[in-house]
Structure 1
Amino acid sequence: MNQENILKKMVDAGITNETFSAEDVMERMMKKKSMVLQIGKSFVIYDPNGRIMRHTAAGFKKEGYKVKVLDLVQMKEENHYNPLHYFRNEAEAMSYARYLVNKLGNNNEETFMAGAEIVLLTALLCYIKMERPEKNQNFAFIMKMLRAAQINAMDPGAKSNLDVIFDNLEKKNPEHIAAKQWKIFKLNHPHDQNRVTTSLAAKLSVFDLPVIEKLMSTDDLELDQMKDQTTVLFVKNPTINDSYDILTELLCFQLMNMADCDHVSDWKEYQRNKKHEDDLLKDIREISTAAERAMFDSIWDFEEKEK
């Protein structure tokens, strides 16, 4: 059964308002087909206004699907998402660091700054995942570490609290990937180290918001189980505030990487997955503009039929 048939079955079972038919909802859903990501028998549905969820969640539940919600609109904490929960190795940590820095950067940014930020973020991610207890493995702790990284640039021998942590780590294990990445970062002039730290902290400042700290302090989305389970994840993102777009894009990036991991030998399928990932991220980026958001909102405007 293809994606459209599966979705139609769930929509048909979930429609409770006689004003709508399954076809009405499906027509609008499939107009933005790239906003529905299928992973095995599971689905991730990008649903800014929550309208799709209201008309389909019951149908998914009837068919035995787990229904999960990442709510970035009202922050009801229906489910929690912690990207660090899914890092499996050092290479992935570096990949995610590069992704975040590049996504949050701008075209006018100095190349050395972006490179230094990637190295610094990789060091922090690897340290947290390999050396800290699970309760500290989140972006809130990364922000705490960045605040502890500032040094007196006028004093060549000055050390930050973070310097002490990584010095001790290197003594304990000179080959530790976090210690190695930190040493590369420290090759920069002290003044540039402060610039890099400040720039990275500013880019990641969304993770300092109390509501985001709470939402991302732990994880129960079970993204790594979606290929083997029947789950539907609704992602609700505000239509007039693009501050949280990076969270939905990172979620998509992680899901596509998880999907790729079991198909590395199949280059053609890998290319298809990457193309779908690019299309999906492109759509999400386009929706970030006010005009596109308004257009998208009208496409999904089920409320017109209720008037």
Structure 2
Amino acid sequence: MTLPGHDRYDYVPITRRPDFDWPGGRKLAVYLGLNLEHFAYGEGLGAELAPGGPQPDILNYAWRDYGNRVGAWRMLELLEELDLPATVLANSAMYDYAPELMDAHRARGDEIAGHGRTNSERQSVLEPDAERALIAEATDVLTKAEGIAPRGWLSPWIAESRVTPDLLTGAGYRYTLNWCMDDQPVWMRTENGPLLAVPYPQEVNDIPSVVGRKDGAAQFADMVIDNFDEMLDQSARQPLVMGIALHPYIVGQPYRLRHLRRALAHIVARRDEIWITTAGAVFDRFAEIVSPPSNAS
């Protein structure tokens, strides 16, 4: 029996990879993926604090909107307090809805990566031309606002069609955060050449944890700490990447923010042993030292 496959990458176990160092001779790279998202009112997709009623679902819409109005600004204060960079995964709708927030991240030099137009939609259900147009529209907004094209992409809801990687490289993207299958970057094959899958977490991610599994604030923070401590030990054997996926409407809530501060302070206390970075910098370093396989297109 042969199972259907994707042929985007080969199976190579973590124990059989090229050895290398991150900058400064470090073995563990850590980055924050900060999702800034805007949602349609009265329609479309959206995470739920509680089961939603008929549209307009005010309870859940307003809960998500708290993230852009309050939570994201408290998280900016936390990033400044701990001197942490971030990879901002931005819906292009954020530039019209909350331009001051995007300005604030630009001012501190955070990386801005593509995250679709809005998390009220999935690109995986679109025909190729419509998906290509979605990627182009989101990319154009970010490029005009930031003065530079985004190099990385995270699909809303991590939803891909069968041709998404091909469309991303066709639009000029160099790395994706959609594929959560490894603790090291992995070169993927597309019809337009290689695309790097940079590790992005589905476990150390506040949506699956808090919204999906109903983990408490302290439990999520402990998860971040335990994941970090274990990966730091494991990285003595292989260089690794630890991402932390955050959403201001979730961890920007005051009681969760207090526990997040505890977790991030634990990581920052080991700053001299790790590389605190961005997803884009992980791409740069890995692409410099590990070439795509010869069959990467």
TM-score (norm 1): 0.29
Structure (1 or 2) with the greater helix fraction: 1
TM-score (norm 2): 0.30
Structure (1 or 2) with the greater strand fraction: 2
